[in-house]
Structure 1
């Protein structure tokens, strides 16, 4: 087996000479720090790509989520309803804003926030909703928008994994009052780290831009002044800027995005063909009314399987894997929370297998064959 064993990583960025040339150009420009010319160019290009009026390039998605809530007015005494099945940065961002996260359960089929659960969680303290595009597939924004409007709430799209996704023909990033993206190394387009806040509301974008630079306008706005303007600090801000090195990489990644999405979609289709008849697995689905960018490919394991044993055997055979994401409400930080059974079950049973744009056909076939072999192995049966 070892002689035929491959090493297929869980995730892998697609970068090359174009990104290197872009970084070289930034080095030669002399402006490497945040919110510079490369950031300005990327912000304009990204806003256009996602159907937004404006974008603010940020240090990561968490900082974009925090800024979004600050400019929408969340604060102490407020409650924000958050999709439960997500990396806890979503819930953390609510706490950073001084508000309280209230977790809502998710749909059992596509794992996005359940509008019925949202309705059930609304109280007199609720000010907003944060939906999460689970592994890239958008949530039910028509229903969520109707709920938000009916109760006079704002709506944020956590589009961390959703670059290139669509919902009813509209791009992720244009589906809520504000959206936040991630460019972490496992995302569909990446600079290793980084994020972006986008909105159709120019005033929200301008306010977020001010707050992401300590509460003043970025230095580039004063670079060509003939006098010496000295900014005044009248609002608490943060250092949430993306560097121009990262922005230069992201401009090239944005050009690559159609090809990267196509490669991921092809890999997802092939996994479905190769694993669709395995009774002990539940495969992810993509709904016809939205485009799934396949940031991750997450399978559900039957309760008869020991997930830890499955992961151990897959890794032994060179197949990268990890749990899907978190049921936030069971994390100790958030204290005692009402049980959310769908999210908790997904947290217990999900397993991510390799998904990235560099997967060759033989990589996908090796992963699928190995998964089939491992889930049928006696040592993976739960006690």
Structure 2
């Protein structure tokens, strides 16, 4: 059998190694140092389009920080787009608030604004929308709902570096946004995340909390006296190391090319899938730029997804389910019915998507998928 086509794969090389070498030579390897500061400035200006960015240890810590500084806490409810990795719901629970999941649009899989508004109760303090697989949610409608009910709005942009909504970049679409730099994401340091906002007060508070509740050590560098910080608020260790920030600076240099390559593969997939029965390509809306962090197809309800997946893997094509219908996870104890999310959870299939895919590999993926669906039908 020929080489396996990977489901996801980072694009890294000499540039990232040189960036790490530069951090070694700087002498500052730990978190929240000068390389982190340089990355934050570039990420805010070049990707998120915001006044502030804060580099974090991962997206989960960024989510927790964002919810914390927005004021979520015990007794509160936060409405969460249901179709997402459970880090989104977990982050709400970490604050002591309760995640209330809202069903999703059947086409782009982000929170249905009507379902969000229907879920609002007197306990609701905010809305946490998810840009599913990178495509931004309906922020004009969600902002109108939030304003109507006096709520804050937060964007889980974990997959969305390089995406946009009506000409505005992901990361600038809500009061606070969060990103992931996990190994499967469009730009990566293996792990890492970022919080972005235009609100200086929120940014300052998040920066304090992400370093145990004091200003980062960089603020005391070069002092001629001996400043001793005072801890007046309980914080966390949510800093990104400068080593990882160096890798992220190199990844920012690659971002345009990485997006171009992913979008080329997505276009090729869509064209080839048009001639394959019993499977649908994902929808990319014209008013948003999709970064294609993942490529997830929808199988017809009579297709056996397990058989399709087994055929793909046996023939060297990696695959996975899409993401989670979070409300079904027992940790949350959620009792509502969200039929759209629950249905798509059983029918979605992620196929290889990364910037290193070749045209011939993309052809092989779709040919093997077509064979797998046919085999499933006759098994």
Q: Please state which band the TM-score falls in when normalised by the shorter chain.
A: over 0.9
Indicate which of 259, 266, 269 corresponds to 1:268. 266
Indicate which of 9, 12, 35 corresponds to 2:9. 12
Deviation at 1:285, TM superposition (A): 1.2
Deviation at 1:277, TM superposition (A): 2.1
1:232 to 2:204 alignment? no
* TM superposition score normalised by structure 1: 0.97
- Residues 195-236 of structure 1 show CA distances to partners (whole Å, capped at 9, x for unaligned) of 000000011001000000000000111011110101011101
Partner SS, residue 242 of structure 1: coil
> Would you say the 8 A contact 2:128–2:156 is kept in 1?
yes
> Would you say the 8 A contact 1:70–1:97 is kept in 2?
yes
Deviation at 1:381, TM superposition (A): 3.7
> Would you say the 8 A contact 1:306–1:382 is kept in 2?
no
- Residues 168-191 of structure 1 show CA distances to partners (whole Å, capped at 9, x for unaligned) of 000000100000000000100000
Q: Distance in 2 between matches of 1:314 and 1:174?
A: 38
Partner SS, residue 4 of structure 2: coil
Partner SS, residue 323 of structure 1: coil
Deviation at 1:336, TM superposition (A): 3.6
1:191 to 2:189 alignment? yes
1:22 to 2:19 alignment? yes
Partner SS, residue 135 of structure 1: helix
Indicate which of 33, 37, 45 corresponds to 1:36. 33
> Would you say the 8 A contact 1:303–1:382 is kept in 2?
no
* TM superposition score normalised by structure 2: 0.98
> Would you say the 8 A contact 2:259–2:355 is kept in 1?
yes
Partner SS, residue 230 of structure 1: coil
| Off by >4 Å, runs of 4+ in structure 1 | none
Listed as ranges, the gaps of 5+ residues in structure 1 are none
Q: Which residue of 2 aligns with 1:256?
A: 254
Aligned alpha-carbon RMSD (Å)? 1.0
> Would you say the 8 A contact 1:12–1:186 is kept in 2?
yes
Q: Alpha carbons of 1:310 and 1:85: their partners in 2 closer, same or farther (altered >3 Å)?
A: same
Q: Which residue of 2 aligns with 1:315?
A: 313
Q: Distance in 1 between matches of 2:347 and 2:196?
A: 33
Note the 1:317-336 alignment, pairs <5 A: 317-336=315-334
> Would you say the 8 A contact 2:273–2:280 is kept in 1?
no
- Residues 309-359 of structure 1 show CA distances to partners (whole Å, capped at 9, x for unaligned) of 111110111101000000000000011420100000111110000000000
> Would you say the 8 A contact 1:304–1:382 is kept in 2?
no
Note the 1:38-53 alignment, pairs <5 A: 38-49=35-46, 50-53=48-51
Q: Distance in 1 between matches of 2:195 and 2:335?
A: 29
Q: Distance in 2 between matches of 1:284 and 1:224?
A: 53
Deviation at 1:382, TM superposition (A): 9.3
Q: Distance in 1 between matches of 2:163 and 2:253?
A: 15
Indicate which of 298, 310, 318 corresponds to 1:300. 298
- Residues 228-262 of structure 1 show CA distances to partners (whole Å, capped at 9, x for unaligned) of 10101110100000000100010111111111000
Q: Alpha carbons of 1:336 and 1:173: their partners in 2 closer, same or farther (altered >3 Å)?
A: closer
Note the 1:132-281 alignment, pairs <5 A: 132-281=130-279
1:375 to 2:370 alignment? no
1:348 to 2:326 alignment? no
Q: Which residue of 2 aligns with 1:79?
A: 77
Partner SS, residue 107 of structure 2: coil
Aligned length: 378
Q: Distance in 2 between matches of 1:100 and 1:166?
A: 29
